[in-house]
Amino acid sequence: MRKIEIFDTTLRDGEQSAGVNLNTIEKLEIAKQLERLGVDVIEAGFPAASRGDLEAVQLIANTIKNSSVTGLARSHQKDIDATWEALKQSAEPRIHVFLATSPIHREFKLKMSKDEVVERAVEAVKYAKQKFAKVQFSAEDACRTELDFLARVTEAVIDAGATVVNIPDTVGYITPQEIRQIFTYLRENVSNIDQAILSAHCHDDLGMATANSLAAIEAGAGQVEGTINGIGERAGNVALEEVAVALHIRNDFYKASTNMKLDEIKRTSNLVSKLTGMIIPANKAVIGDNAFAHESGIHQDGVLKEKTTYEIITPELIGVKSNKLVLGKHSGRHAFKTQAIELGFELADDKLNEAFQTFKDLADKKKEITDEDLFSILADKQTESVDVSHYVLNTIQVQYGTENIPTATISATLPDGQNVTEAATGSGSVEAIYNTLERLLKGPVKLHDYKINSVSGGRDALAEVYVRVNYNGMESSGRGTAQDVLEASARAYLNAVNRVLTIEAQQQDIQKAHI
């Protein structure tokens, strides 16, 4: 049974999804969950992109011990130096260097010849090797690169010290048959191929990322790169949970497995979905809400008689438990803490007490608190930071009637500590709320996206609202959770603004440090 290494890039390629804006605490929580999931490598970010990115990667690298942490770098010394600064204290410093190799990239982006590309790649790998024990090289747009040239680059970077060579389908163009041919060609035509692991990094533009990744494994790939829930630029990356479960269910065919703890998949998926604001489609393979639902009468009859008639994946395999403990207003702190641990949260005592109080407040309004409710409460508290509380929502009141103009009255605490009350109207209740909040803020806010999601079922379910805004010339996302959808809408809006203020404060601190 071959062991396939899992390289997770949720925090780098996944965060490049449109509208996704994770802060450092949220990135760290996802990284810790990825470690629990058992991924081999966590690509924590692009350290050279900004000081904030470098510090986030550094924090993750210094925290994670059971997964290898890596950072992305262009084939430039300053990128490699920044990555070393972020990772030098990690348990296993590793770097991911990339350079485009396809004709279209060489001609229009790099404006370099084949010889120049090889020379730049070799120089970068040799320089990185002086600092890092493990160097991965990615031939960007490899799947649209001439096979003989791709083999030449692969052999050259392995000679220079690369321990992993990644073959990305950067634009999601390849087919399963073609990617098998690429990996087979490299294995047969690169003389030193036994000195490095071949990796596959597939995008999903044509909906074939999972099929292509599995085909690459068939042809000799020893590592697969992707993200949780398949998030990423454009149509996203391969969903790692699909690859891991496919190898498990069809180990008779692939004769390969991963180190992933499959019963942590659902929790990891839910955490990534909540913190990124990217809702999982109900029909999403492996993790969608409908993945184990059977509507057809024939299917229901078959499953009742024998589950395997229509169910090849059990809910328990990915961590969906059928015996859920339901808490209520009479549940005590011990039961709450036990359930928090069961859901994978280990909060400090002060955070746990705050979460317990939020739970008790909700329990006074909601008869039964489900696992989904608890997960939302705990995740919010775990990722809460005093740094983002620049504006604090105190009270909100909305007047609405079919014959009246919607009016919102809001009391909030400003960054200077002053309590202010404002009111405004709008064509709808949410617009009235946002018009009122804009009066409280310094500078206009442009709303680009607004999404609302129910945490669980029932008319008393918690609501989660996600927004994407532009404030002070910076795009930001925010989320808010409350039993009332209008309160959740207000909290999401302020959360997005507070994130911008936090980034601005961090940038000012960096500038002061350089003066």
For residues 492 and 460, the model is more confident at 492
Q: How far is the C-alpha of 433 from the C-alpha of 408, rounded, in Å? A: 5
361 residue type, one letter: D
**388-426 pLDDT per residue, tens:** 458 999 999 999 988 899 999 999 999 888 999 999 999
CB–CB of 455/376 below 8 Å?
A: yes
For residues 150 and 20, the model is more confident at 150
- What mean pLDDT value characterizes the chain? 91
pLDDT at 111: 96
Sign of the dihedral through C-alpha 302, 303, 306, 310: positive
Contacts of 367 (CB under 8 A, 6+ apart): 328, 460
Q: How far is the C-alpha of 292 from the C-alpha of 315, rounded, in Å? A: 7
Read off the pLDDT of each residue in 34-54 and give the average, rounded to a whole number. Answer: 95
pLDDT band, very low/low/confident/very high, at 296 (cuts 50, 70, 90): very low
CB–CB of 44/57 below 8 Å?
A: yes
CB–CB of 13/45 below 8 Å?
A: no
Q: How far is the C-alpha of 175 from the C-alpha of 121, rounded, in Å? A: 27
Read off the pLDDT of each residue in 247-269 and give the average, rounded to a whole number. Answer: 97
pLDDT band, very low/low/confident/very high, at 385 (cuts 50, 70, 90): low
Q: How far is the C-alpha of 216 from the C-alpha of 204, rounded, in Å? A: 15
pLDDT at 324: 55
pLDDT at 295: 46
Q: 223 pLDDT exceeds 60?
A: yes
Give the CATH architecture of domain 2-276. Answer: Alpha-Beta Barrel (3.20)
| Portions of the chain given CATH number 3.20.20.70 | 2-276
pLDDT band, very low/low/confident/very high, at 299 (cuts 50, 70, 90): very low
Region of 232 (left: φ > 0; alpha: ψ -120 to 50; beta: rest) is left
pLDDT band, very low/low/confident/very high, at 339 (cuts 50, 70, 90): confident
Q: How far is CA 99 from the centre of its chain?
A: 24
Least confident residue range of 3-17, 108-122, 253-267, 287-301: 287-301
Beta strand 223-226 with 5-8 is parallel
| Portions of the chain given CATH number 3.30.160.270 | 386-514
Least confident residue range of 198-207, 327-336, 502-511: 502-511
Least confident residue range of 125-129, 159-163, 472-476, 493-497: 472-476
pLDDT at 68: 97
Provide the percentage of residues in the chain whose pLDDT is more than 70.
93
CB–CB of 328/369 below 8 Å?
A: yes
For residues 368 and 22, the model is more confident at 22
**171-181 pLDDT per residue, tens:** 999 999 999 99
**428-452 pLDDT per residue, tens:** 999 999 999 999 998 889 999 999 9
Q: How far is CA 483 from CA 358, 363, 371, 389, in A?
A: 11, 11, 15, 21
Q: 343 pLDDT exceeds 90?
A: no
CB–CB of 73/97 below 8 Å?
A: yes
Read off the pLDDT of each residue in 157-175 and give the average, rounded to a whole number. Answer: 98
Q: How far is the C-alpha of 201 from the C-alpha of 136, rounded, in Å? A: 13
Residue 94 bridge partners (DSSP): 70, 134
DSSP 450: E
pLDDT at 458: 82
pLDDT at 328: 75
Q: How many CB atoms lie within 10 A of CB 412?
A: 21
Read off the pLDDT of each residue in 344-348 and give the average, rounded to a whole number. Answer: 83
3-state SS of 359-395?
HHHHHCCCCCECHHHHHHHHHHHHCCCHHHCCCEEEE
Q: Three-state SS for 245?
A: helix
| Surface-to-core class of residue 191, CB atoms within 10 Å of its CB (0-12 exposed, 13-18 middle, 19+ buried) | exposed
Q: Three-state SS for 34?
A: helix
Q: How far is the C-alpha of 62 from the C-alpha of 64, rounded, in Å? A: 6
Q: Three-state SS for 173?
A: coil
pLDDT band, very low/low/confident/very high, at 305 (cuts 50, 70, 90): low
Return the structure tokens found at 391.
């504006």
pLDDT at 512: 63
Strand order across the beta sheet in which 445-454 lies: 445-454, 463-471, 474-482
497 residue type, one letter: V
Read off the pLDDT of each residue in 254-266 and give the average, rounded to a whole number. Answer: 97
Least confident residue range of 84-93, 119-128, 375-384: 375-384
Query: Against a cut of 0.95, is the pTM above it?
Result: no
Q: How far is the C-alpha of 278 from the C-alpha of 372, rounded, in Å? A: 16
Q: 83 pLDDT exceeds 50?
A: yes
179 residue type, one letter: I
Least confident residue range of 211-225, 230-244, 385-399: 385-399
Ranges of beta strands (E only) in 463-509 are 463-471, 474-482
CATH of the domain spanning 386-514: 3.30.160.270
Cα-Cα-Cα-Cα torsion 441, 444, 445, 446, nearest 10 degrees, comes to: 170
pLDDT at 459: 84
CB–CB of 372/362 below 8 Å?
A: no
pLDDT at 352: 87
Q: If we measure between CA atoms, which residue out of 211, 221, 275, 249 comes closest to residue 24?
A: 275
